[in-house]
């Protein structure tokens, strides 16, 4: 009964809620084959739109590029908005500075004023997010240190050693325990998504909680710009959770390295990532050592062992808390000590990526010699023991003590200061200011942002010592940000599609590994980008016919309540009067999800499907036909226009 007690409250709420809404959900259901068939048919009709999605073009019935609007000062303040209507400006802000609108957001921002909302997002500390924190409280691993995670969810070999078993015996034992647990949970009517989550292998639970927390934060946080920037910086300083010990190190990296510095000075974030055990392990800098210094250290250690062994020559080595007893060694020779460790040398991985990706950029003016010297500056930045004591420390014994020259500047401070000063030089360089400004503008404005805007942002970056808020404010208060060319010019990544669709539907999540899996199925598995580049932020990577079909299938699965752990109430969203009128449902879905701005071709294609028997359904016990609102909502969310932001 212990499991029943643990899960009784959440399962009872879930199933009571579902029973209450059973009839509504039933008519919004569609079998998987029906979803796939309808999605394929719709995609064929819309295939011609794919190039326009890639290009970020949109048919806007309300305005042209040359239109000029004089919006009220009480609404826009000092924001230079002249080419967008009031509603367009709100939607633009919510799509770029947030993860899309939730029901009621547009009206709320219209009443309070757009500039005030933006100011709150830039200064997010004053925004109440207690409801989200309460929701995240069930993810206990978020507050655990890497050491605690290793202790509670040890690697298989360590778990086997603790129990005195083989790894295979531990695996079989765990499978039997989880099978029994799954069976007991099913008997108590626990939601399948909760069962899947609660019976995950230990180490996988760490990533699962981080994944779910990331999605919940994007959907429910009132501090939307902060969440956007947290995910932006993680992608910039990418670490792959699948690399060895990083499965246990990544949570600390996200929670205590990236997030606390997401809106701070760039140099603070750069230094924090450079010292992070997750980054040190991912790019192998924890193994990087000056070869000469390493050899010298090894010789010293060998001499110490030799001296220690000499004290007990001809005697048995002492056991703990015992004085050595006389007695010859069995083979007549003293023990030779532990096997000789593999020679360590300089590793250039982090030295290269910190320049090419994190700071000055590939065109920043550095050479291969600079990469080597940068790596030399950072020798000794290591981890005590990744799977036992995963703490950063500086080991002066393996640091390169010779003068080093990086991009024309000499570093000969000695010790850890060599690396700190080299990072400071990179963080404050003109090339870094332009590289970071370009990436921010590319994410928030367009795939090819205007150079004039990037230059102004770079100037503020340098003048403010890399203050993220100051650079963002310069971008937001630019005419380029609010231009007609920038409006819906960006294509959403799979993560952005998933969370913006959930926000648009006002979806309620409990525990949903399936939602996480869908993000991966659409091409962006969370925290699993293998190369240090992070995921791409341009349309050409994400848009093709196959990708759009995946996105459409996701939207239909979500909106028709086929996703365990996620529920939607569309009758409350569209109104009871739309229950038997598919045209009214479509009109309201287009208005709620797309601001009413949709191409003629998309609208015509959607309207043609309104007569589909899967959309307007009849039941034997009810002569009145009812609209499958979830299906219409899914088709709109899967349309090309929703793929843009």
**Which residues have C-beta within 8 Å of that of residue 58, sequence separation ≥ 6?**
52, 487, 488, 597, 599, 641, 644
Nearest Cα residue to 28 out of 560, 635, 552, 614: 560
| Per-residue model confidence (pLDDT) at position 32 | 56
Distance CA 194, CA 512 (A): 7
pLDDT higher for 561 or 3? Answer: 561
| Per-residue model confidence (pLDDT) at position 615 | 86
Distance CA 340, CA 48 (A): 64
pTM: 0.87
Confidence category of residue 6, pLDDT binned at 50, 70, 90: very low
Distances 48 to 44, 402, 438, 635 between C-alpha atoms, Å:
8, 62, 31, 17
Q: Residue 366: is its pLDDT beyond 80?
A: yes
Confidence category of residue 38, pLDDT binned at 50, 70, 90: low
Task: Yes or no: say if 645 and 101 are a contact pair by the CB < 8 Å rule.
Answer: no
Task: Yes or no: say if 444 and 481 are a contact pair by the CB < 8 Å rule.
Answer: yes
Mean pLDDT, residues 558-574 taken together: 94
**Which residues have C-beta within 8 Å of that of residue 139, sequence separation ≥ 6?**
209, 210, 212, 213
Q: Residue 489: is its pLDDT beyond 80?
A: yes
Q: Residue 62: is its pLDDT beyond 80?
A: no
Q: Residue 530: is its pLDDT beyond 70?
A: yes
Domains of the chain, by residue range, sit at 31-58+490-569+596-643, 283-313+343-446
Task: Yes or no: say if 455 and 384 are a contact pair by the CB < 8 Å rule.
Answer: no
Distance CA 571, CA 576 (A): 6
Mean pLDDT, residues 523-549 taken together: 94
Range with the lowest mean pLDDT among 221-225, 340-344, 630-634?
Answer: 340-344
Q: Residue 448: is its pLDDT beyond 60?
A: yes
| Per-residue model confidence (pLDDT) at position 362 | 96
| Per-residue model confidence (pLDDT) at position 308 | 60
| Per-residue model confidence (pLDDT) at position 320 | 45
| Per-residue model confidence (pLDDT) at position 537 | 95
Nearest Cα residue to 51 out of 477, 543, 633, 580: 543
Task: Yes or no: say if 254 and 210 are a contact pair by the CB < 8 Å rule.
Answer: yes
Task: Yes or no: say if 488 and 645 are a contact pair by the CB < 8 Å rule.
Answer: yes
Q: Residue 404: is its pLDDT beyond 70?
A: yes
Query: What SS3 class is residue 508?
Result: strand
- Report DSSP letters for 456-493, one per residue: HHHHHHHHTTSBHHHHHHHHHTSTTTTSTTTTT-SBPP
Distance CA 112, CA 120 (A): 11
Q: Residue 80: is its pLDDT beyond 80?
A: yes
Q: Residue 496: is its pLDDT beyond 90?
A: yes
Q: What is the 3-state secondary structure (H, E, C) of 56-88?
A: CCCCCCCCCCCCCCCCCHHHHCCCCCCCCCHHH
| Per-residue model confidence (pLDDT) at position 344 | 80
pLDDT digits (tens, 9 = 90+) for 283-302: 999 999 999 887 877 777 77
Distance CA 334, CA 315 (A): 8
pLDDT higher for 329 or 301? Answer: 301
Q: Residue 210: is its pLDDT beyond 60?
A: yes
| Per-residue model confidence (pLDDT) at position 396 | 96
Mean pLDDT, residues 515-533 taken together: 97
pLDDT digits (tens, 9 = 90+) for 406-437: 999 999 999 999 999 999 999 999 999 999 99
Mean pLDDT of all residues belonging to the chain: 87
For residue 624, the 8-state DSSP code is E
Range with the lowest mean pLDDT among 129-133, 246-250, 341-345, 506-510?
Answer: 341-345
Nearest Cα residue to 195 out of 179, 171, 206: 179
Range with the lowest mean pLDDT among 11-25, 53-67, 263-277?
Answer: 11-25
Task: Yes or no: say if 388 and 379 are a contact pair by the CB < 8 Å rule.
Answer: no
pLDDT digits (tens, 9 = 90+) for 309-324: 655 455 454 444 443 4
Range with the lowest mean pLDDT among 72-86, 537-551, 554-568?
Answer: 537-551
| Per-residue model confidence (pLDDT) at position 9 | 42
Q: Residue 304: is its pLDDT beyond 80?
A: no
Taking CA 627 as the corner, what is the angle to CA 623 and CA 633, rounded to the nearest 5 degrees?
170
pLDDT digits (tens, 9 = 90+) for 594-643: 999 999 999 999 998 888 888 877 666 665 678 899 999 999 999 999 99
Q: Residue 19: is its pLDDT beyond 90?
A: no
Distance CA 28, CA 100 (A): 24
Q: Residue 224: is its pLDDT beyond 60?
A: yes
pLDDT digits (tens, 9 = 90+) for 90-119: 999 999 999 999 999 999 999 999 999 999
């Amino acid at each position: 009964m212990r499991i029943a007690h643990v899960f009784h409250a959440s399962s009872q709420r879930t199933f009571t809620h579902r029973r209450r809404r059973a009839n509504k959900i039933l008519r919004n259901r569609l079998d998987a084959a029906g979803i796939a068939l309808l999605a394929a048919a719709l995609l064929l009709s819309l295939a011609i739109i794919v190039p326009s999605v890639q290009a970020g073009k949109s048919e806007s019935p309300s305005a042209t590029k040359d239109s000029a609007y004089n919006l009220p000062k009480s609404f826009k303040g000092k924001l230079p908005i002249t080419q967008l209507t009031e509603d367009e400006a709100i939607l633009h802000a919510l799509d770029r500075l947030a993860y899309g609108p939730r029901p009621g957001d547009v009206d709320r921002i219209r009443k309070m004023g757009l500039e005030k909302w933006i100011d709150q997002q830039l200064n997010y500390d004053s925004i109440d997010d207690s409801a989200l924190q309460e929701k995240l409280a069930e993810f206990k691993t978020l507050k655990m240190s890497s050491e605690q995670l290793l202790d509670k969810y040890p690697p298989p070999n360590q778990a086997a050693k603790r129990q005195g078993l083989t790894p295979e015996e531990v695996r079989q034992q765990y499978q039997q325990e989880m099978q029994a647990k799954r069976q007991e949970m099913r008997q108590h009517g626990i939601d399948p998504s909760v069962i899947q989550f609660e019976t995950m292998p230990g180490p996988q639970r760490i990533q699962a909680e981080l994944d779910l927390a990331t999605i919940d934060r994007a959907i429910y946080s009132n501090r939307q710009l902060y969440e956007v920037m947290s995910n932006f910086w993680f992608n910039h300083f990418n670490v792959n959770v699948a690399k060895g010990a990083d499965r246990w190190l990544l949570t600390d990296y996200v929670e205590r390295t990236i997030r606390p510095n997401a809106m701070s000075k760039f140099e603070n974030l750069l230094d924090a990532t450079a010292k992070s055990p997750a980054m040190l392990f991912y790019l192998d800098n924890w193994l990087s050592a000056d070869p000469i210094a390493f050899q010298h250290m090894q010789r010293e250690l060998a001499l110490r062992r030799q001296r220690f062994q000499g004290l007990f020559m001809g005697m048995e080595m002492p056991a703990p808390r015992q004085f050595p007893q006389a007695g010859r060694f069995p083979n007549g020779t003293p023990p030779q000590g532990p096997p000789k460790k593999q020679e360590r040398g300089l590793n250039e991985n982090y030295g290269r990526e910190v320049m090419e990706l994190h700071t000055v950029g590939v065109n920043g003016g550095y050479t291969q010699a600079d990469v080597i010297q940068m790596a030399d500056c950072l020798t000794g930045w290591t981890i005590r023991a990744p799977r036992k004591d995963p703490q950063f420390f500086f080991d002066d014994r393996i640091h390169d003590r010779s003068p080093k020259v990086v991009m024309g500047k000499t570093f000969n401070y000695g010790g850890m200061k060599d690396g700190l000063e080299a990072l400071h030089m990179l963080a404050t360089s003109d090339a870094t200011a332009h590289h970071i400004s370009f990436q921010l503008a590319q994410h928030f404005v367009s795939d090819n942002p205007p150079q004039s805007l990037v230059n102004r942002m770079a100037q503020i970056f340098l003048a403010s010592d890399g203050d993220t808020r100051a650079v963002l404010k310069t971008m937001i208060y630019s005419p380029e940000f609010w231009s007609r060319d920038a409006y819906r010019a960006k294509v959403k990544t799979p993560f952005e599609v998933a969370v913006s669709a959930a926000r648009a539907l006002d979806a309620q999540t409990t525990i949903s590994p399936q939602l996480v899996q869908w993000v991966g199925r659409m091409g962006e598995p969370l925290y699993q980008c293998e190369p240090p580049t992070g995921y791409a932020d341009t349309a050409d990577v994400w848009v093709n016919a196959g990708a759009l079909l995946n996105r459409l299938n996701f939207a239909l699965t979500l909106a028709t309540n086929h996703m365990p752990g996620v529920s939607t109430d569309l009758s409350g969203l569209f109104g009871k009067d739309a229950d038997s009128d598919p045209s009214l449902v479509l009109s309201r879905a287009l208005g709620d999800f797309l601001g009413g701005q949709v191409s003629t071709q998309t609208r015509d294609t959607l309207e043609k499907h309104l007569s589909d028997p899967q959309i307007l359904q009849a039941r034997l016990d009810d002569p009145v036909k009812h609209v499958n609102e979830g299906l219409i909502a899914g088709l709109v969310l899967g349309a090309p226009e929703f793929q843009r932001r």
